A and B are shown apart, each in its own frame.
Chain A
Amino acid sequence: MTPVIEVKNLKKYFPTPHGTLHAVDNVSFKIEKGKTIGVVGESGCGKSTLGRTIIHLHESTGGQIFLDGNDITKLKGKELKKVREKMQIIFQDPYSSLDPRKTIESTIREPFVVSKRYSKSEIEEKTLELMSLVGIDERLRRSYPHELDGGRRQRVGIARALALEPEFVVCDEPVSALDVSIQAQVLNLLKKLQIERGLTYMFVTHDMSVVRHISDDICVMYLGQVVEKCEAKELFARPLHPYTKALLSAIPSTDIHNKTKREILKGEITSPINPKPGCRFAARCPFAVEACHQPQVQEEVSPGHFVTCCRVHEIQKI
């Protein structure tokens, strides 16, 4: 089966006064239809930029993007507009991603109007249909965003993203701004919609328990590069890259009796501007040796489990 989305060696660099910022560097993966890939990493690791570059909100610097097997990397103008309908995004902050001067109804209606595919009465009908799909009461149609709570606003963002029946949706931290009880409501909604509509998700988040719950596969990013990639279960059961291990052990566990020994990383994420060749995590890595400062290759350690670390086998023995 052709994957819905495939990226090969995708790069996105930003010029800055101090040099080139390597936000996304040589990232490759595929997502099959109806599946979810989770992208995790700390702030500034390039996970949001990756999502935005795939759906052409940023122009890529290098590499290729395929949608349903077609290379869409270089599309422009009308062709790009057509492809964009199939790829949508749900933003992190439901407080700033909705137009404060538009009613809920007109925000949800907008994609239909822009697409010019429907008559006025069809648009009306479809808007109401969408509102009930994401669980917004019809009585709220003329409300403004400031009158809604975070959970409802995020539902509006979801409705807007799904209006033109996309195949692929980038969910950029869609529940990070919500309280746990509301977060669970929205996560269940996203899952229900995925099953009903066969949606393919890329789920960007820094919350490891959310990503574990929603993803089929997970990519762990560090400073623009994917350091580890495998099935969600496998990643939590058998993390191999030292960064993944540190990330997982830093999560405060709700189990009060089983206090696991935590590996606390020293130092902070370094700058992605003009990075040196070699492993970008080496500066903080407790296992770093001379060889880590040479360019690293991705290795398939076990079927479907990819790690970019030259010492992965030695570390396992330690």
Chain B
Amino acid sequence: MAKEMKKEESPFLQIKDLVVEYKSDDQIVHAVNGVSLNLGKGRTLGLVGETGAGKTTIAKSIMRILPDVGAKITGGEIFLDGRNVLELSETEMRKIRGNTVSMIFQDPMTALNPVQRVGDQIAEVVRLHNDEKVNPEKRAKEMLEIVGIPAERYYEYPHQFSGGMKQRVVIAIALACNPDLLLADEATTALDVTIQAQVMDLIGELQKKYNTAMILITHDMGIVAQVCDDVAIIYAGQILEYGSKEQIFDYPTHPYTIGLFGAIPSMSGDEMWLHPIDGLPPDPTNLPEGCPFSPRCQYASDMCRKDGIGFHMTEDGHQCRCCRIEEIKKMKREEDQK
């Protein structure tokens, strides 16, 4: 299918003030609370945060594959190539899923159908989305070769593949229709490092070739450093810090971001103790008033706990949601001088 080229003015993916809730019995889980982000063609955005921060929910909202029962997008807009996906009909969404946008799921062991040949699982996407000129089986074999699996293994079943190979099949499915946007949800977390390196390289190559935009959901700062252009640090359903990779890694500003970097054991240092962030992420059914990070933040003041979350943006677009940012910067400078 020929994809229309749209004007390059607005970014390919634009999320504005997204709010998602899950309802269960008498509780409301506030999973995503006002997330806004932009992503251009060929760019990679790293979505970093702890378990339950709302990363996967954001990705699923873009695909509109949140569970029917319980989950609800209660606010915001998601523009994909200029169209608001939240207003599209289910039939229109089906054309988008797997074609314009596709997702690599976290666990390759469960993402594949165990009783269907791997080749057929790739061919299925092609059959659904392409006109008759493309032979699905041929395309599937091509995709297998691209991800480094011999085409003759088309007729095998997932259990005959190792973890790394299964994940490559999942990637082949996701990329079979040359999507414009790829959502990689912890795509390599279940893999060993040497295999992870292979898979990340492969995704990077294909991304370059097809100018695909990618959202990479991960909790591994190392992968973010290697792969992403932009980074969003997400906590309790909000983006606390957002900027280019250089801004986030060289000048982390939000106390949570600083805490995250401090908690990673360094590969070179000989520190006796690590610097964990005290406490636990907040309960999403009962978020604290004000800044969600304030209960764990060493700099929190009454202002943070009451009035909420500040918003600060530098001229070059480095966003940080912290109302004490200037004071903290000053305190840190004084600490450094000592």
Residues of A that sit less than 8 Å from B by CB = 42-43, 149-151, 179-185, 187-188, 191, 206, 208-210, 212-214, 233, 236, 246-247, 250-256, 259, 262, 264-265, 268-269
Residue from the list B261, B267, B280 in contact with A251, Cβ < 8 A? B267
Let me know if B260 and A181 touch, CB within 8 A: yes
Residues of B that sit less than 8 Å from A by CB = 50-51, 162-165, 192-198, 200-201, 219-223, 225-227, 245-246, 249-250, 259-261, 263-268, 270-278, 280-281
With a CB–CB cut-off of 8 A, which chain A residues contact B278? 185
- A-B contacts, 24 of them at CB < 8 A, read A42-B192, A43-B192, A180-B50, A180-B221, A181-B260, A181-B277, A182-B276, A183-B263, A184-B275, A184-B277, A187-B265, A188-B273, A208-B193, A209-B267, A212-B267, A213-B266, A213-B271, A250-B193, A250-B194, A250-B197, A265-B194, A265-B198, A268-B162, A269-B192
Let me know if B225 and A256 touch, CB within 8 A: yes
Let me know if B280 and A151 touch, CB within 8 A: yes
- In the complex, besides A183-B263, A188-B273, 7 extra interface pairs with C-beta distance below 8 angstroms are A42-B192, A184-B264, A212-B267, A233-B270, A250-B196, A251-B267, A264-B201
Cα(A246)–Cα(B194), bound, Å: 7
With a CB–CB cut-off of 8 A, which chain A residues contact B276? 181-185, 188
Cα(A126)–Cα(B194), bound, Å: 45
- Known contacts A184-B274, A251-B222; A262/B195 CB under 8 A: no
- Known contacts A43-B192, A250-B194; A210/B265 CB under 8 A: yes
Let me know if B219 and A42 touch, CB within 8 A: no
With a CB–CB cut-off of 8 A, which chain B residues contact A179? 50-51, 219, 281
Residue from the list B51, B163, B263 in contact with A43, Cβ < 8 A? B163
Report A119 CB to chain B, min CB distance, Å.
36
Closest-by-CB residue of B relative to A151 is B280
Report A29 CB to chain B, min CB distance, Å.
22
Let me know if B280 and A180 touch, CB within 8 A: no
Report B166 CB to chain A, min CB distance, Å.
11
Let me know if B265 and A254 touch, CB within 8 A: no
Cα(A269)–Cα(B198), bound, Å: 13
Cα(A187)–Cα(B200), bound, Å: 28
With a CB–CB cut-off of 8 A, which chain A residues contact B264? 180, 184, 209, 254
- Known contacts A42-B194, A208-B193, A268-B162; A253/B260 CB under 8 A: no
- Known contacts A184-B275, A212-B265; A254/B192 CB under 8 A: no
Cα(A259)–Cα(B227), bound, Å: 11
Let me know if A181 and B259 touch, CB within 8 A: yes
Most buried by A among B193, B220, B278: B193
With a CB–CB cut-off of 8 A, which chain B residues contact A268? 162, 164-165, 195
Most buried by B among A179, A213, A236, A252: A252
Interface SS of chain A = helix
Let me know if A252 and B222 touch, CB within 8 A: yes
Let me know if A247 and B274 touch, CB within 8 A: no
Residue from the list A181, A185, A250, A254 in contact with B225, Cβ < 8 A? A254
Let me know if A181 and B198 touch, CB within 8 A: no
Report A257 CB to chain B, min CB distance, Å.
8
With a CB–CB cut-off of 8 A, which chain A residues contact B221? 180, 254
With a CB–CB cut-off of 8 A, which chain A residues contact B195? 42, 268
- Known contacts A43-B192, A188-B273, A268-B162; A252/B50 CB under 8 A: no
Closest-by-CB residue of A relative to B198 is A264
Report B220 CB to chain A, min CB distance, Å.
7
With a CB–CB cut-off of 8 A, which chain A residues contact B193? 42, 206, 208, 247, 250-251
With a CB–CB cut-off of 8 A, which chain B residues contact A251? 193, 222, 267
Let me know if A182 and B280 touch, CB within 8 A: yes
With a CB–CB cut-off of 8 A, which chain A residues contact B222? 251-254
Report A193 CB to chain B, min CB distance, Å.
13
Cα(A250)–Cα(B277), bound, Å: 27
With a CB–CB cut-off of 8 A, which chain A residues contact B192? 42-43, 206, 269
Let me know if B198 and A252 touch, CB within 8 A: no
Let me know if B263 and A253 touch, CB within 8 A: no
Report A288 CB to chain B, min CB distance, Å.
16
Cα(A214)–Cα(B273), bound, Å: 10
Let me know if B265 and A209 touch, CB within 8 A: yes
Report B58 CB to chain A, min CB distance, Å.
18
With a CB–CB cut-off of 8 A, which chain B residues contact A180? 50, 219, 221, 260, 263-264
Closest-by-CB residue of B relative to A265 is B194
Closest-by-CB residue of B relative to A191 is B273
Report B297 CB to chain A, min CB distance, Å.
12
Cα(A277)–Cα(B225), bound, Å: 40
Residue from the list A185, A208, A264 in contact with B197, Cβ < 8 A? A264
Cα(A5)–Cα(B298), bound, Å: 42
Cα(A259)–Cα(B245), bound, Å: 14
Closest-by-CB residue of A relative to B275 is A184
Report A200 CB to chain B, min CB distance, Å.
18
Most buried by B among A179, A181, A188: A181
Report A264 CB to chain B, min CB distance, Å.
5
Closest-by-CB residue of B relative to A187 is B274
Cα(A251)–Cα(B266), bound, Å: 12
With a CB–CB cut-off of 8 A, which chain A residues contact B275? 184
With a CB–CB cut-off of 8 A, which chain A residues contact B225? 252-256
With a CB–CB cut-off of 8 A, which chain B residues contact A209? 264-267
With a CB–CB cut-off of 8 A, which chain A residues contact B259? 181
With a CB–CB cut-off of 8 A, which chain A residues contact B265? 184, 187, 209-210, 212-214
Report A133 CB to chain B, min CB distance, Å.
17
Cα(A317)–Cα(B193), bound, Å: 26
With a CB–CB cut-off of 8 A, which chain B residues contact A269? 162, 192
- Known contacts A149-B280, A208-B267, A236-B267; A213/B226 CB under 8 A: no
Closest-by-CB residue of A relative to B283 is A149
Cα(A43)–Cα(B189), bound, Å: 13
Cα(A191)–Cα(B271), bound, Å: 12
Most buried by A among B246, B259, B276, B277: B276
